[in-house]
A and B are shown apart, each in its own frame.
Chain A
Amino acid sequence: MSGKGIHIEGLKKRYGEGDTAVHALRGVDMQIAPGEVVGLIGPSGSGKSTLLKCLGAVIDPTAGRMVLGDEVIFDNDWKVRDLRALRRDKIGFVFQAPYLIPFLDVTDNVALLPMLAGIPNSNARAKALELLTALDVQHRARAMPSQLSGGEQQRVAIARGLVNRPPVILADEPTAPLDSERAMAVIRILNDMARQFETAIIVVTHDEKIIPTFKRIYHIRDGVAHEEVGEGRGFE
């Protein structure tokens, strides 16, 4: 695990060429420290998903610079050869829906990532159980995803995002399908995990209930990120 979070400078993304070109990101600057949870908000079409996909190394930015921990991963071009390994080892994902693999039990859903990285099954499962315990779902370790409640599924998804101890976690509307109580519980968990594992967490959200919980918010408008100070309520 790295201690420098994620640093983004002048990140641009353009779709298409010439007159039909769409500038989704027009030079985004962001800095998220380890252990910090920031909100990423903005209206539909503002570029939130494009930014998340650039950060997640699933689409190619047009220009800019991204530093993950100590490693420059993008400087007008990808600086890492294997983007798949980058996603596996350095970036955690938490989605709007948990998207757990339905045919794997809870432990193996979490342990799958370390297994993919070549860690022996027993060690990977031990790591998974450790995280499930931290997230208080260890009692459902042998359950199948379909047997879990929505909140439990989301906690398992968070465990999966954290299991390889990535320096950054990208959470795409993680509270969207949850009621207020469960949504706040998920945000609390993300804050706890960010502090415990020194992980920088970016939470994309439209959820008015959780926006006041962020100390810092990036508001995307027309492809540019504007930093705002949040209220930071509830998770001191």
Chain B
Amino acid sequence: MKIAVCVKEVPDPGPNRRIDPGTLRMDRSGDRSLNAYDLNAVEEGIRLRDAAGDGEVVLVSLGASKALDSIRKGLAMGADRAVLVSDEAAVGSDLVATSYVLAKALEAESPDLVLFGQQASDADGAVLWAAVADRLKMPVISQISELEVADGSITAKRQTEFGYDRIRTSLPAVLAVADSLNEPRYPSLKGIMGAKKKPQDVKSLADVGVDAARAGEAGSRTTVISLSPPESRGGNQKIEDDGNAAQQILDFLVERKLV
């Protein structure tokens, strides 16, 4: 079984993330890592490949060329190779442009399964899989918390606002997995060492057959108009437990008459 896992490099979560006020884009110059939610998709890809006994797991991404540093974590976990579409003309791609570029890169791979994590931690988006599935003309199931593969079909359990659905589809298909589906493995030292030697193809837009007019800002249909500071949520104190945190929490609650 050939499994493509779509992954993304994101700025590390935490207070240092910022949007560049000049470009109105995410500042990607600081510390970065693989989107944590993608690790569940990588893990599931590896498990499905191993259970099938053959096939491969290909990581597919769109990003800066240095994103390979983050993507290598997926290779260290056990994915077989990576394809990164990286092109100056793709910078600033929105959903329309990103889904188009990714779909073109995925078409070239003809996978049986395309896996996504449950969201991107930088943009809070949870819409890419549905857009990619539409472009690939494949069925899609999202929010998967349990997955069974048998005889060329997938049965998935997933949570909605009303409880749990069970949905079945034939392959090929696009699946988005919830972070509850599995516990991503930590890469072993051997895996980390071996990751560097695994194939890592960096492709241009032309390499995947995308006209530059359909990527980046030219291919995007949404804009950021302006940025402003949020309404304050008040306190926002953060403390580290030095053995006295329980007392500090109690004092905080008493002060606000909550105890």
Chains A and B bind each other: no
List B residues at the A interface (Cβ < 8 Å). none
Where the two chains meet, the residues of A that have a C-beta atom closer than 8 Å to any C-beta of B are: none
